[in-house]
Structure 1
Amino acid sequence: MKPLKAELLLIVVTMFWGSSYLFMKMGLGTLGEFNLIALRFGLAFILAALLFRKRLRSIDMRTVKYGALLGFLLLGVFTCITFGLKTTTTSNAGFLVALTVVFVPLLEVLIFRKKVAPPQIFGTILAISGIGLLTLNGSLKVQPGDLLCILSAVFYAVQILVTGKAVKTSDSLNIGILQLGFAGGFALVLSFIFEAPVLPSTLPGWIAILALGIFCSACGFIIQPVAQKYTTPTRTGLIFALEPVFAAFFGYWFAGEQLSLQGYTGAALVLLGILASELLGKLHLNPVLSRMPKKRRAHL
């Protein structure tokens, strides 16, 4: 696959993920939060398992354990988002969840005691400033939905770090499929406890579930690792930074959501912070790597 085709596929995946906030909001009109998550990831798991059923025969217990842990973290991510969307806009949700790019290096500093690069510090300051403008209203209060979306970004950052460790010893595709199944299974249990799980009863509900399950989850999680092999991590990070832009576009075009001037300024600062952490951080790291011996560089 040529890099241009791979990058176009990653843009399509990013567009799917950007649209997911709108579809989640649509689904919440007739379904409970855990019910929505269970249907979304349950459908995605069934499709992915059928498509890669031969690959799944090689699953071992280590892969199952990682799949369960990552499924639990994925449940945390989308529980926060779905509950958060009840009191915030799809635009805010998209930009706040995208803070994952900023939280990953911060958690590496706190957990693994890694040194943070100056561009990442700069990006974090920009992003935090943007959060303030996006979420604080005239009375300096933050909506609960905004806080939940920020928490979802923390969950997502932890999920990324655990995934990085898991794929070193287990099959990455099998882990990806299993985490979808476990996330859907955990959500179904919680739906039985706190809700009354049902199938969608309206056309918008079915559209939301099918779009979330097929395009945003199954296709997204399958296309991403395949396409990512044929482009650079820096380009991938820049493409994924477009997710909140797509979320804002779909929110504006289909739901009539508009940000205030303060909101647009905050969104721009969040996006700049993400780009600074992702792009400038890589540029800062590359000269250091180029001076390292090849054997040491291969382990990074």
Structure 2
Amino acid sequence: MKPLKADLLIFFVTICWGSSYLFMKMGLGTLGEFNLVALRFGLAFIVAAALFHRRLRHLNRKTFYYAMLLGLLLFLVFTAITFGLKTTSTSNAGFLVSLTVVFVPLISSFIYKKKIENKIFISILLALVGIAFLTIKLPFTFAIGDFLCMAAACFYAIHILVVGSAAQKVDTLNLGILQLGFAGVYGLIFSIIFETPVFPSTTDGWVAILALSLVCSALGFIIQVVAQKYTSPTKTGLIFSMEPVFAAMFGYWFADEIMDSNALIGAALVLLSIVVATVNVNISRRSRVKTTPTS
């Protein structure tokens, strides 16, 4: 797979995840937080495993280990987000969770002792300013929910980096499927301990769960794991920074939420950050070509 195709697939996943905020609001109306996580990832695993059951016959210990770790990280990400939304605004949550775009290169540079490229640094700044314009509504104050959403961003950055490493060592499709199953198991365990697991009792609840399970989870996370093998973790994080842009679009289309001038500026800046990160322009090389005398 070419890097451009991988980036486009991750871009498609970002669109799917942008719609998830709308469906999560619908689902949390009748389900507990752990219950929602359990159903979302449990059903996604069942569907994906049924479709690719022959592939799952070829499992090894390393794939199982990575899937356990990635499933735990997914569980922590979505648990932190759902509980965080109880004590912070949607705008604050959208901005703070999108800090994944900052955590990925920072954690990566710390682990691998690599210097952040200038264009990536500029892209991070553009993405942060854009996300701020798009999501922050003054006054901007911190609550427990704010810290939980920042924790979710950190967990997801680690998830992206672990996927980037694991995708080079194990079967990516099996890994993508198994991580869903483990996330669902963790959610079910905590739902049994702290809640009463139930199925949705309304049509809206079922629509939300099926959309979250089939589109946002089964399709989204499997594509992410497969495609990320052919692109970099930092670029993946930057593309995922467009999630609040699509979340705003779905809010406009289905919840009558109007984007003001600040939101439009933010969306444009986030899009620009992706262009800066993905377009390769070697100015120094062009300069050398023009100035080198011919013999």
**Range of TM-score over shorter length:** 0.7 to 0.9
Task: Report the counterpart of residue 257 of structure 1 in structure 2.
Answer: 257
Please give the alpha-carbon distance, in whole angstroms, between the structure 2 residues aligned to 1:71 and 1:79: 12
Q: Which amino acid aligns with 1:256?
A: D
Question: 1:10: Cα distance to partner?
Answer: 5.5
Per-residue Cα deviation, 1:236-275 (whole angstroms, up to 9, x for no partner): 7886554322111112222233466555555555554555
Q: Kindly state the Cα deviation for residue 127 of structure 1 after the two structures are TM-superposed.
A: 4.0
More moved, 1-10 vs 63-72: 1-10
Distance (whole Å) between structure 2 residues aligned to residue 265 and residue 253 of structure 1 = 19
Inter-partner Cα distance in structure 2 for 1:156 and 1:68: 15
Whether 1:186 and 2:186 are equivalent positions in the alignment is yes
- How do residues 90-109 of structure 1 correspond to structure 2 at under 5 angstroms? 93-94=93-94, 96-109=96-109
- What pairs with 1:1-300 in structure 2 (closer than 5 Å)? 12-86=12-86, 87-89=88-90, 93-94=93-94, 96-130=96-130, 134-135=135-136, 137-138=138-139, 140-142=140-142, 144-224=144-224, 240=240, 242-258=242-258, 261-262=261-262, 265=265, 269=269, 272-273=272-273, 275-276=275-276, 278-279=277-278, 283=281
Instruction: Please give the secondary structure, in 1, of the residue aligned with 2:204.
Output: helix
Deviation at 1:55, TM superposition (A): 1.1
Contact 1:25 1:85 in 2 (8 A): no
Structure-2 separation of matches of 1:26 and 1:11: 24
SS of 2:121 mapped into structure 1: helix
List per-residue Cα deviations over 1:13-38 (Å, max 9, x = no partner). 33221101110111111111110010
SS of residue matched to 2:54: helix
Rounded to whole Å, the distance in 2 between the matches of 1:126 and 1:227 is: 25
2:35–2:191 contact (8 Å) kept in structure 1: yes
Which blocks of at least 5 consecutive residues in structure 1 are unaligned? 288-300
Once the two structures are overlaid, the 10-residue window that deviates more, 128-137 or 41-50, is: 128-137
Looking at structure 2, the residues matched to 131 and 149 of structure 1 have their Cα atoms a distance apart, in angstroms, of: 14
Q: Give distance in 2, aligned partners of 1:5 and 1:150.
A: 30
Counterpart of 2:27, as a letter, is: G
More deviation in 157-166 or 42-51? 157-166
Mapped to 2, the partners of 1:157 and 1:74 lie a distance apart of 11
Distance in 2 (CA, whole Å) between partners of 1:115 and 1:6 is 24
RMSD, aligned CA: 3.6
Tell me the SS of whatever aligns to 1:30. coil
Question: C-alpha distance in 2, partners of 1:184/1:175?
Answer: 14
TM-score (norm 2): 0.79
Structure 2 residues not aligned, in runs of 5+: 286-295
Change (3 A) 1:272 1:11: closer
Aligned length: 282
Give the aligned residue type for 2:89.
T
Give the whole-Å Cα distance in 1 for the aligned partners of 2:7 and 2:127: 25
Seq. identity, %? 60
User: By how many angstroms is 1:70 displaced?
Assistant: 0.6
Q: Check whether the contact 1:237–1:279 (CA below 8 A) recurs between aligned residues.
A: no
Shift of 1:141: 1.3
Q: Structure 2 vs 1, CA of residues 169 and 13 (structure 1 numbering), >3 Å: closer, same or farther? A: closer
Equivalent in the alignment of 2:288 = none
Distance 1:262 1:250, change over 3 A: same
Aligned AA (2:278): L
